[in-house]
Amino acid sequence: MSKRIDSHQHFWKFDPVRDSWIDETMAVIQRDFLPEDLEPILKENQFEGCVAVQASQSEEETHFLLDLAAKNDFIKGVVGWIDLRNENIEGRLQFFSDQKKLKGFRHVVQGEADDFMYGTEFRNGIQALKKFNYTYDILIFERQLSAAISLVQDFPNQKFVIDHIAKPDIKSASINSWKRDIEEIAKYDNVWCKISGMVTEADWKNWKPEDLKPYLDVIFENFSADKLMYGSDWPVLNVASDYHEVVKTLEDYIAEFSIDDQNKIWFENAKAFYKL
């Protein structure tokens, strides 16, 4: 069994106001999810560690995750939140720069206007990341892919990773425009992609592995095993599945791949991208 890293999961102390995106349809995750909940699940599925990713938009969130990472060795890296539009962005990045486990940042762009990534202040923030060697996680819906293409094009030296394969509409099996944009964005050397968050874009109650296959085919054809990494999106995945089922779906899909390529997907790519 090769080493494994879960490149994408979340922790929170549930707050109904702050976490209002977790509505009644997601009642199963309306509670706290902390390292002691995840660690046994990782062990059970042969993972040696994970990357904790921001879920709320505040520097408090970044401190919260860094604090958990300091106390739990299995949290190998943190993708935090910072206000990239802050005119003193360099000062804020400098403030965090001695935090060894802080690897990069993310903004919930899926919740913003479709032209958000063209904004001058936002791009000024992206520009500042390189100096501190921070990565950037792109969280978008598929309709925002064209803006993401423009972003990765304009910052060729910045490392980007697309979360949740850019959230195509798997539930209605719509694939063509998403596929076209994935083919385009995958051409850029500075872009990776996480195999994560797929089950929550499918039909929560009735999805089957074959519903995901056409989308997996597209990302593997375009990014190849060199640029893809596994992420569970735990605990969000619980609304549609469980940890083991999500892992098994990918295990089955890549079963025929070389051991080398499997190692890249489960471990090496996340390790290299985030410098874990």
Q: Return the CATH fold of 5-274.
A: TIM Barrel (3.20.20)
Domain map of the chain by residue range? 5-274
Which SS3 state, helix, strand or coil, does residue 255 take? coil
Q: How many whole angstroms separate alpha carbon 59 and alpha carbon 23?
A: 23
| pTM, 2 dp | 0.97
pLDDT of residue 2: 75
pLDDT of residue 1: 63
Q: Give the position of tokens 């989308």.
A: 215
Q: What does each of the 276 residues of the chain score in pLDDT, given as a tens digit?
A: 679 999 999 999 999 999 999 999 999 999 999 999 999 999 999 999 999 999 999 999 999 999 999 999 999 999 999 999 999 999 999 999 999 999 999 999 999 999 999 999 999 999 999 999 999 999 999 999 999 999 999 999 999 999 999 999 999 999 999 999 999 999 999 999 999 999 999 999 999 999 999 999 999 999 999 999 999 999 999 999 999 999 999 999 999 999 999 999 999 999 999 999
CA-closest candidate to residue 137, choices 101, 184, 105: 105
Angle at 248 between CA 106 and CA 198, to 5 degrees: 35
Residues 233, 264, 93, 185, CA torsion sign:
negative
Q: How many whole angstroms separate alpha carbon 80 and alpha carbon 196?
A: 18
Angle at 76 between CA 187 and CA 117, to 5 degrees: 40
pLDDT of residue 136: 98
